[in-house]
């Protein structure tokens, strides 16, 4: 195509076509209004490709320089919002190439030597996603840091631990928060895994079968930072696979979905804890909204939306995985549909994580370097709730086991004691010693240590348990592995 032919591609692709596309079909097939978001990756990929073409003697140094200059100009135009994106030119790749050809003439037309949009777009998406994964990994580390900070301030705050949302055993609020730190730590690990498989170079696969030009794919990979920890270039090793599979994007959406599921679980707890019936925590007003009719309301909109947006992210995972299913090798235009879901997953996840860092940990005070104004904890309400529901019944059973009873008998004995306490409308720890002794003669005064909330916590002093001593070990471990 001559440069003005490229400009008017809409009229017909080439001499082969006898009629232009209708306006509707043009809009239906175009992607430029969403894939222009890939422009930086497209320019970076093209610069790396041109550098290699010149190094291999496939294009001249003069052409290489014109391409560099033209792409530099395009970069400036896009950044300044002055680039004229044309629907007629279908996608980000053809838009940039057409402009380059306007600016650099034949040199611009030589850039596509040994390349196809098929390996170009696969490269662009991988480059773009890799950088987004790095941002997300940073945010996951920040969220863990915020949770560890709040945990550290609440080691001695006790709330009821639940199973089936029924009071089960007392736990430290710090221990509860650190459970989420574990989840987000695994999410970060998964992101790291996905990054490794995303950061591989399809360029050089060309349309599907490879290329006849003596390309140096490893050089391109190194230029683009597609290397492993040892600096070894990471290449897609099969051209058909390189241009067509989007499993890295699916994997990413899967890791993002799990992260959102964890955010959603935390959101559900925040929503419960903020309700009048619990009253365990408050979040800053800027994360809540009022009601247009009920003046007393402060609604936890942010956690609710995060819970809701989890469905949206999981939905995008379903879109991508269904998009891939049934595609024969190699590239099919179906894959153009990978972008909008993927972009939305990235945007939703980043926004959610940013908001949660601030909502949980508070805003960073540049003077102190510390976060301030995160969630407010009502320790009294938590502890009062833990006093109800016989949270230390297991501790009494364990006490009897230490006195020589088989666990099953101890379990039965305590069940009777709970029944008695229920009829007296009091906690086990409020029953007089003489009454407790009626259930078993081995019960002595020291039983009250194990019936207290703090005694119960302290007793769970094995790795992973809720004893404050264990929590301190875990906090130190997290501080050690988290940046900053």
- Where in the sequence numbering do the catalytic residues fall? 164, 291
**Residues 394-398: contacts with CB under 8 Å, at least 24 apart:** 394/169, 395/169, 395/450, 395/451, 395/455, 395/456, 395/459, 396/428, 396/447, 396/450, 396/451, 398/450, 398/459
Using the minimum distance from each CB to ligand ARG, give the nearer residue, 182 or 337: 337
Closest Cα partner for 51 from 212, 274, 203, 273?
A: 203
User: Closest distance between ligand ARG and the C-beta of residue 208, in Å?
Assistant: 9
Our CB check for ligand ARG shows the closer of 71 and 323 to be 323
Query: Residue 121 interacts with ligand ARG (CB under 6 A)?
Result: yes
What residues pair up with 201 in beta bridges, in sequence order? 235
Place of tokens 């119960």: 456
Q: Give phi and psi for 85, each to the nearest 5.
A: -70, 130
Residue whose CB is less far from ligand ARG, 267 or 335:
335
Contacting range for ligand ARG; rule: CB under 6 A; set: 115-123, 176-184, 259-267, 410-418:
115-123
By the rule CB under 6 A, 333 interacts with ligand ARG: yes
Tell whether residue 169 is a contact of ligand ARG (CB under 6 A): no
DSSP string, 2-65: -HHHHHTGGG-SSTT-SSPPPHHHHHHH--HHHHGGGHHHHHHHHHHHHHHHHHTTSS-HHHHH
String of contacts with ligand ARG for each residue 279-308, x by CB under 6 A: ------------------------------
Give the shortest CB-82-to-ligand ARG separation in angstroms. Answer: 23
CA–CA dist 91, 352 (Å, integer): 29
Closer residue to ligand ARG (CB): 327 or 442: 327
Which tokens is 153 given?
């301030």
Choice from 6, 9, 21, 31 touching ligand ARG (CB under 6 A): 31
Which of these segments, 152-160, 274-282, 294-302, 327-335, binds ligand ARG (CB under 6 A)?
Answer: 327-335
- Please report, as residue ranges, which positions from 177 to 206 form the binding site for ligand ARG (by CB under 6 A): none
Query: Contact with ligand ARG (CB under 6 A): which of 64, 99, 110, 117?
Result: 117
Q: One symbol per residue from 242 to 271: x for binding ligand ARG (CB under 6 A), - otherwise; what is it? A: ------------------------------
3 state SS of 84 = coil
CA distance linking residue 429 with residue 390, whole number of Å: 9
Nearer to ligand ARG, 245 or 358 (CB): 245
- Which residue, chain included where needed, has tokens 């040199």? 107
Based on the shown chain and the rule CB under 6 A, indicate whether residue 142 belongs to the binding site for ligand ARG.
Answer: no
9 vs 117 by CB, closer to ligand ARG: 117
- Residue 335 as a binder of ligand ARG (CB under 6 A): the answer is yes
CB-nearer residue toward ligand ARG: 35 or 383? 35
Smallest distance from ligand ARG to CB 60, Å: 28
Question: Residue 154 — φ and ψ, nearest 5°?
Answer: -130, 30
Specify the stretch interacting with ligand ARG by CB under 6 A; choose among 128-136, 137-145, 331-339, 399-407.
Answer: 331-339
- Residue 150 CB, shortest distance to ligand ARG, in Å, is 43
Residue 47 to residue 41: CA distance in whole angstroms: 10
Q: Does 91 bind ligand ARG (CB under 6 A)?
A: yes
Bridge partner residues of 377 (DSSP)? 281
Q: How many residues does the chain have?
A: 484
* Closer CB to ligand ARG, 205 or 335, in the complex: 335
Binding mask 36-75 for ligand ARG (x = CB under 6 A): ----------------------------------------
DSSP state of 89: G
- CB-side exposure of 403: number of CA atoms within 13 Å? 17
Which two tokens mark 265? 């679980």
233 in Cβ contact with 162 (< 8 Å): no
- Interaction site with ligand ARG (CB under 6 A): 31, 35, 91, 117-118, 121, 331, 333, 335-336
């Amino acid at each position: 195509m001559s440069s003005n032919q490229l400009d008017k591609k809409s009229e017909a692709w080439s001499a082969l076509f006898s009629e232009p596309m209708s306006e509707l079909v043009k809009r239906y097939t175009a992607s430029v209004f969403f894939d222009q978001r890939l422009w930086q990756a497209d320019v970076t990929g093209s610069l790396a490709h041109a550098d290699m073409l010149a190094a291999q003697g496939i294009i001249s140094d003069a052409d290489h320089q014109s391409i560099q200059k033209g792409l530099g100009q395009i970069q400036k135009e896009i950044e300044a919002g002055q680039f004229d994106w044309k629907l007629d030119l279908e996608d980000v790749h053809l838009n940039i190439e057409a402009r380059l050809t306007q600016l650099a003439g034949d040199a611009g037309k030589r850039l596509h030597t040994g390349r196809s949009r098929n390996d170009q777009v696969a490269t662009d998406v991988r480059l773009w996603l890799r950088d987004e994964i790095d941002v997300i990994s940073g945010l996951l580390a920040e969220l863990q840091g915020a949770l560890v900070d709040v945990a550290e301030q609440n080691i001695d705050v006790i709330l009821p631990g639940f199973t089936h949302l029924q009071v089960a055993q007392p736990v430290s609020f710090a221990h509860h928060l650190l459970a989420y730190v574990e989840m987000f730590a695994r999410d970060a690990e998964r992101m790291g895994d996905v990054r490794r498989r995303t950061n591989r170079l399809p360029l050089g696969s060309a349309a599907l079968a490879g290329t006849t030009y003596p390309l140096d794919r490893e050089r391109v990979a190194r230029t683009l930072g597609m290397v492993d920890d040892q600096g070894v270039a990471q290449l897609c090793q099969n051209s058909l696979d390189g241009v067509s599979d989007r499993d890295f994007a699916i994997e990413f959406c899967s890791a993002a979905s799990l992260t959102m599921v964890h955010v959603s679980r935390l959101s559900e707890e925040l929503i419960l804890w903020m309700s009048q019936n619990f009253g365990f925590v408050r979040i800053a007003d800027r994360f809540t909204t009022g009601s247009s009719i009920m003046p007393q309301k402060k609604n936890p909109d942010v956690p609710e939306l995060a819970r809701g947006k989890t469905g949206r992210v999981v939905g995008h995972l379903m879109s991508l995985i269904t998009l891939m299913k049934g595609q024969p090798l190699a590239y099919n235009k179906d894959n153009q549909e990978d972008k909008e879901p993927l972009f939305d997953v990235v945007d939703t996840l980043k926004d959610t994580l940013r908001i949660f860092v601030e909502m949980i940990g508070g805003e960073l005070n540049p003077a102190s370097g510390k976060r301030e104004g995160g969630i407010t904890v009502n320790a009294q309400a938590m502890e009062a709730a833990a006093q109800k529901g016989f949270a230390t019944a297991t501790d009494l059973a364990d006490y009897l086991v230490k006195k020589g009873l088989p666990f099953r008998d101890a379990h039965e004995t305590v069940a009777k004691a709970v029944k008695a306490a229920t009829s007296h409308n009091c906690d086990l720890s409020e029953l007089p010693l003489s009454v407790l002794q009626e259930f078993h003669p081995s019960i002595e005064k020291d039983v009250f240590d194990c019936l207290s909330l703090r005694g119960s916590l302290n007793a769970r002093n094995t790795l992973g348990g809720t004893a404050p001593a264990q929590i301190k070990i875990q906090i130190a471990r997290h501080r050690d592995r988290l940046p900053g």
